[in-house]
């Protein structure tokens, strides 16, 4: 997985690309640091270019949500592909996240 960030006055948009799996945990740590240090309180993970997520990636998304909530921030998932959206739904995570289509 790779990512790019766009800092905004009210938060940050991080666009993830490629496959997001357990092996990306080191990249995910860097992503968490960006979320923690970003100005504002509205943060977005753009999943529109994510090709595949495994169960570890779902767990990492939950960690990001927990950290955002602890800091009184919101974390939205933007434009997940149909397959990614279905996986999020099957894991019942669609009730935990703001999903932007």
pLDDT in tens, 34-78: 999 998 999 999 999 999 999 999 999 999 999 999 999 999 999
pLDDT in tens, 9-37: 999 999 999 999 999 999 999 999 999 99
> Residue 16: which CATH number?
3.30.750.24
Q: Taking the complete model, does pTM exceed 0.75, yes or no? A: yes
Given strand 74-78, what is the order of strands in its sheet?
2-8, 11-20, 42-53, 74-78, 98-100
State how far the Cα of 26 lies from the Cα of 93, in Å rounded to an integer.
Answer: 23
Count up the domains in the chain and report the number.
1
State how far the Cα of 28 lies from the Cα of 25, in Å rounded to an integer.
Answer: 5
Range(s) of the domain holding residue 86: 2-100
| Residue 85 Rama label (left phi>0; alpha psi -120 to 50; beta) | alpha
Q: Could you give the C-alpha distances from 10 to 30, 71, 74, 100, in angstroms and in order?
A: 20, 14, 11, 17
State how far the Cα of 58 lies from the Cα of 42, in Å rounded to an integer.
Answer: 20
């Amino acid at each position: 997985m790779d990512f790019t960030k766009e800092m905004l006055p009210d938060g940050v948009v991080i666009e993830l690309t490629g496959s997001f799996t357990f092996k990306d945990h080191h990249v995910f740590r860097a992503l968490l640091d960006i979320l923690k240090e970003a100005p504002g309180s509205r943060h977005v993970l753009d999943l529109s270019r994510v090709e595949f997520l495994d169960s570890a990636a779902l767990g990492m998304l939950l960690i990001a949500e927990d950290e955002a909530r602890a800091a009184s921030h919101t974390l939205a998932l933007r434009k997940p592909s149909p397959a990614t959206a279905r996986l999020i739904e099957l894991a019942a995570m669609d009730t935990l996240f703001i999903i932007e289509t």
